[in-house]
Structure 1
Amino acid sequence: MAKPLLHIDFEQPEELVFNRARMRRAFIKIGQVHMRDARRLVMSRGRSAAGENPAYVTGRLARSIGYYVPRASKNRAGLMVRIAPNQKRGEGNRLIEGDFYPAFLFYGVRRGATRKKKHHRGASGGSGWRIAPRNNYMVEVLENRRPWTKYVLSRELKKSLRPQRKKRR
């Protein structure tokens, strides 16, 4: 699956102080909203066709979508959020046990995918797909929320940069 990315760089002037905790709270809020929207896209009941969002049958896919805001380390600033199904160390998710079937939904599965000497579509013909590829709902959420995400990040960045206090003597 393609990993959509939104990256913002800035240089911090020496006379300003950066409030990292405020920015982390903004990333947590963004993760929660994107997680909620992605879950809503896969909550339609019934069967899904090729190119549509996956349908809700057992709810495992919807419950597995989570977000993760990593802690800062010497190699990483910690100002990012990951939203994905089966997100390791994710907030608000339940891991999918067994095969990672969101990948099967995204890429699809061909009939006779296990290669043998004779791997044809079958005597009846058909499309050749056992499970046709579904829509990438995570990219759809990111595209739908892109203006809001940029607005929230720029607003919180402005609020988290403040003038440095002068030292008292």
Structure 2
Amino acid sequence: MANSASVESYLHFEGFDKFEREAFDKRQIRAGMRKVGRLVTQRAQMNLALGKGQDGYPVNRTGATVESISFKVSRSGFLVRISPTKTSAMEAFYPAYLHYGVKKGRRPGKLAPGKGKGRKNRRAAGARARLVAERAAGEWRIKPRDNYMADALQDSSSQVQSILSAAFAAALS
């Protein structure tokens, strides 16, 4: 599997930049984008299903995250977006919690009446910053996981480039 340290979640290939969009047959471009979308979606689902908590990927318990990965071709047909989406099986959109992680402890909120300084019940100078810094330095309740979507794109980038190059070349004629 690819290294998740560098996030390559966008792929651009050269060669067709000088043409206007109207020069291409959009049906063939959309067909190529659908093919690429299926390829990267299947690769991301496979990364997640076979990762089983190894390589920094989340553990697949119910399969809701695997099933939530889908692709959508843009209206113009020149872009495909592959991402996990919130489904009815999910109470909250937890792929975001898995990717970014969750710290232990709650955020510093308002002070209880009479616990602060002065008439406006304020914290001491720097107290809020200290609380935020303690929380940031603390433990993770949910550790951040690797980006299996970016890894899927990076792993299949050569196939994606060849499929799209063929689709764009066929759409020109």
Normalised TM-score (structure 1)? 0.71
1:111 aligns with 2:104: yes
Give the counterpart letter for 1:82 in structure 2.
R
SS at match of 2:19: coil
The 1-side partners of 2:102 and 2:28 are apart by 44
2:159 aligns with 148
Normalized per residue, the structure richer in helix is 2
1:28 aligns with 34
Structure 2 gap segments, 5+ residues each: 1-6, 112-130
Give the counterpart letter for 2:157 in structure 1.
R
Given candidates 122, 141, 144, the residue that maps to 1:130 is: 141
The 1-side partners of 2:73 and 2:19 are apart by 22
1:4 aligns with 9
In the alignment, is the contact (CA less than 8 A) between 1:31 and 1:82 conserved in 2? yes
1:69 aligns with 2:80: no
The 2-side partners of 1:31 and 1:99 are apart by 25
Name the structure, 1 or 2, with higher relative contact order (CA <8 Å, separation 6+): 2
Deviations 1:14-70 (A, max 9, x none): xx9522101110000000111111111111385x26x61111101110000000012
Structure 1 gap segments, 5+ residues each: 73-77, 88-93, 122-126, 163-169
1:98 aligns with 2:97: no
- What RMSD in Å do the two structures reach over aligned CA positions? 2.9
Q: Count the aligned residue pairs.
A: 141
Normalised TM-score (structure 2)? 0.69
